[in-house]
Amino acid sequence: MSVLRRAVLLAGLLGIAAGAGFPAPARGEPVAVHDFRGKALSLAAPARRIVCLIESALSGIFMLGEAQRVVGVATSVYRGDVFPYYAALDERIGKKTLPAPGNWDFVSIEGVLALRPDLVILWAQQSEAIAALEERGIPVFGVFIRRLEDVYREIEALGALTGNPARAREVVDFTRSEIGRLRGRAEALPRERRPSVYFMWAQGDLETSCGGSTVQDLIELAGGRNVCEALEAEHAIVNLERLIAWNPQVIVLWPNERRDPADILRDPRWRSIAAVREGRVHELPEVFLCDLWTLKFPYPVKLLHRWLYPGEAGGIDAAREKGRMLRALYGRSLP
């Protein structure tokens, strides 16, 4: 690229940033990270124009205070109960002016290219879209979160990619501290006394996560036992007979617009399960607050612990914990 053309392009990028109501990001030192495919990414400077089509990564970028670098988001931020939160974090989302050229299940290559990104963030399994973008010389950071440690790794990489490693360390340290307290509490509970838990995804009553998953981390940190922990699977479909045999003491639903605890409690197929007989069926609140693939991970752990040990003295104040978490991670309370 000629010096003149480079100068014109830089001027254009600065103008776009200013027009969005944000100061243009300052240039910084070269960046080198590895993504979750093991692919090495090298940028001459922190990314200035990011298309982020993973909602959890977008949430992380906002935690870093780097919203001004985002020029494209996932379509999911404009849907459901996550929208008011993102609208409060970025007025462009609130006005629905920030382009959304794809999501975890679809990417408009033309839509992404039109935004002239210098970095695109996608799920690592979106191999066709990644190949199409990399063939055009656009760096792609592929993400795949399996366990809690992957969340820390993602935020640290985003800190490097946006030129803000100090803030990345700050929010990671906050969450590590929270998790440390929760882990200490859980480890003090004898394993044989921990309630057994069945986790239900919104896709179907018999869709769950077992050993080696983020859900496994959630249940263990809350002081419970995952009924299918012996089966290594991030996503599993089980049959009802097996679930009845496991006989969970507590059932937890991922936020679900089509099904709620009352539906499970009324379903005659489930009546023999201990959790149903004892009315211990619960649903996590909004996805934004309980996203297991972000540093908000401790909040659903605290909620689950409260459901597992309802008579515990000095129990968790969910409203207070929510406000504390949002202020620490985003710098303010949200609607």
Full DSSP string of 188-217? TS-GGGSPEEEEE-TT-TTEE--BTSHHHH
Indicate whether 10 pLDDT > 50: no
Question: What's the pTM value of the predicted model, to 2 decimals?
Answer: 0.86
pLDDT in tens, 165-204: 999 999 999 999 999 988 887 888 888 889 999 999 999 9
Which residue blocks in 77-126 are alpha helix, DSSP H? 83-89, 91-94, 109-114
**158 and 279 in a common domain:** no
**213 and 146 in a common domain:** no
**240 and 137 in a common domain:** no
* CATH number for position 68: 3.40.50.1980
In order of 97, 226, 288, the CA distances from 334 in angstroms are 20, 32, 11
Domain count, the chain: 2
Indicate whether 327 pLDDT > 50: yes
Domain for residue 298, yes or no? yes
Q: Which amino acid is at 286?
A: E
**CA torsion angle 154 155 161 165 (round to 10):** -140
Q: 60 with 155: CB under 8 angstroms?
A: yes
Using pLDDT thresholds of 50, 70 and 90, give the confidence band for residue 37. very high
Which of the pair, 190 or 98, is modelled with greater confidence? 98
**194 and 159 in a common domain:** no
Mean pLDDT, all residues of the chain: 89
Token duo for residue 216: 């496994």
Residue 26: per-residue pLDDT: 47
Using pLDDT thresholds of 50, 70 and 90, give the confidence band for residue 314. low
**195 and 102 in a common domain:** no
**151 and 33 in a common domain:** yes
Using pLDDT thresholds of 50, 70 and 90, give the confidence band for residue 22. very low
Percent of the chain, pLDDT > 70? 91
Q: Which domain holds residue 297?
A: 190-330
Last residue of a domain, one of 114, 144, 163: 163
Q: Which residues contact 276 (CB under 8 A, 6 or more apart)?
A: 251, 264, 265, 267, 270
**321 and 226 in a common domain:** yes
Residue 71: per-residue pLDDT: 98
Domain for residue 281, yes or no? yes
Which of the pair, 303 or 25, is modelled with greater confidence? 303
Overall size of the chain counted in residues: 335
Q: 140 with 126: CB under 8 angstroms?
A: no
pLDDT in tens, 199-255: 999 999 999 999 999 999 999 999 999 999 999 999 999 999 999 999 999 999 999
331 vs 258: CA distance, rounded Å: 33
**233 and 124 in a common domain:** no
Percent of the chain, pLDDT > 90? 80
**135 and 83 in a common domain:** yes
Q: Which residues pair with 200 in a beta bridge?
A: 253
Query: Coil, strand or helix: which one is 143?
Result: strand
Using pLDDT thresholds of 50, 70 and 90, give the confidence band for residue 77. very high
**204 and 156 in a common domain:** no
Residue 105: per-residue pLDDT: 87
Q: Which residues pair with 120 in a beta bridge?
A: 51, 140
Using pLDDT thresholds of 50, 70 and 90, give the confidence band for residue 13. very low
pLDDT in tens, 43-62: 999 999 999 999 989 999 99
**193 CB-side CA count, 13 A:** 6
**194 and 152 in a common domain:** no
**162 CB-side CA count, 13 A:** 30
Which among 142, 281, 306, 149 has a CA at the least distance from the CA of 214?
149
Indicate whether 149 pLDDT > 70: yes
Using pLDDT thresholds of 50, 70 and 90, give the confidence band for residue 74. very high
Using pLDDT thresholds of 50, 70 and 90, give the confidence band for residue 315. low
314 vs 131: CA distance, rounded Å: 52
